[in-house]
């Protein structure tokens, strides 16, 4: 009977049933480490995606904050303009109340210089009444009835005058020249002569 002696230490020696258990243990350990690495890679990719989504959400949040601030500034400007408009409207209403149906005669007379045609000259102008019932009487002379009718036409087409009517037109003589004396009545609105 022969006996073999293996002089190699036990750690180096292979074979045997115990070595198979170690190999299985190493294999399980390798699969476990590979699984951990795979799970780590998946979670790292998910983490990167989450970071990208988070940065997009932060950008959108910042845009919304910026848009909200811009909208707030615009609303503040609108509010300031509305306040200024209300102040201006109060001042205009106060001025209209102060003027309340008054006629600015200086502007009315300035307008009349553009209304009276060349062949007509006014001798007098008088006004009676107040507000909407103010009436004006024009007395003057004209070279012909055609010039009187032109004066009537120009008065009728002014927004300041309404109910324009000729009271009379009479032929008279000044020296050797024939002229027509006339009287025209009209109603004047309270805003007449205002710019």
Instruction: Give pLDDT tens digits for 51-67.
Output: 888 888 888 888 888 88
The least confident of 15-24, 40-49, 78-87, 180-189 is: 15-24
Q: Tell me the CATH number for domain 105-188.
A: 3.30.70.2830
Q: How far apart are CA 119 and CA 173, in angstroms?
A: 16
Q: What is the DSSP letter of 111?
A: H
Q: Give Cα separations from 53 to 39, 59, 61, 63, 136 (angstroms).
A: 21, 10, 12, 15, 82
Decide if 138 contacts 125 (C-beta within 8 A): yes
Q: What angle do CA 52, 54, 57 make, to 5 degrees?
A: 110
Instruction: Give pLDDT tens digits for 82-141.
Output: 888 888 888 877 776 665 556 666 777 778 888 899 999 999 988 887 766 688 899 999
Q: Confidence band (pLDDT; 50, 70, 90) for 190?
A: low
Short-list 110, 118, 90, CA closest to 158: 110
| Domain map (residue ranges) of the chain | 17-99, 105-188
Decide if 116 contacts 147 (C-beta within 8 A): no
139: left (phi over 0), alpha (psi -120 to 50) or beta: beta
Instruction: Give pLDDT tens digits for 173-182.
Output: 888 899 999 9
């Amino acid at each position: 009977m022969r006996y073999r002696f293996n002089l190699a230490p036990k750690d180096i020696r292979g074979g045997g049933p115990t070595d198979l258990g170690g190999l299985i243990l190493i294999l399980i350990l390798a699969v476990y480490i590979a699984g951990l690495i795979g799970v780590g890679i998946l979670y790292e990719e998910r983490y990167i995606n989450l970071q990208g989504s988070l940065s997009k959400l932060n950008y959108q949040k910042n845009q919304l904050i910026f848009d909200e601030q811009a909208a707030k500034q615009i609303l503040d400007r609108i509010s300031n303009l509305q306040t200024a408009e209300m102040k201006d409207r109060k001042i205009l209403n106060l001025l209209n109340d102060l003027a309340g149906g008054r006629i600015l005669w200086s502007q009315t007379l300035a307008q009349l210089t553009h209304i009276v045609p060349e062949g007509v000259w006014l001798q007098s102008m008088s006004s009676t009444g107040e507000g909407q019932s103010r009436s004006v009487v024009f007395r003057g002379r004209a070279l012909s009835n055609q010039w009187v009718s032109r004066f009537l036409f120009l008065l009728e087409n002014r927004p300041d005058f309404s109910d324009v009517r000729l009271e009379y037109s009479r032929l008279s003589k000044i020296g050797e020249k024939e002229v027509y004396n006339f009287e025209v009545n009209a109603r004047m609105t309270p805003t007449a002569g205002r710019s």
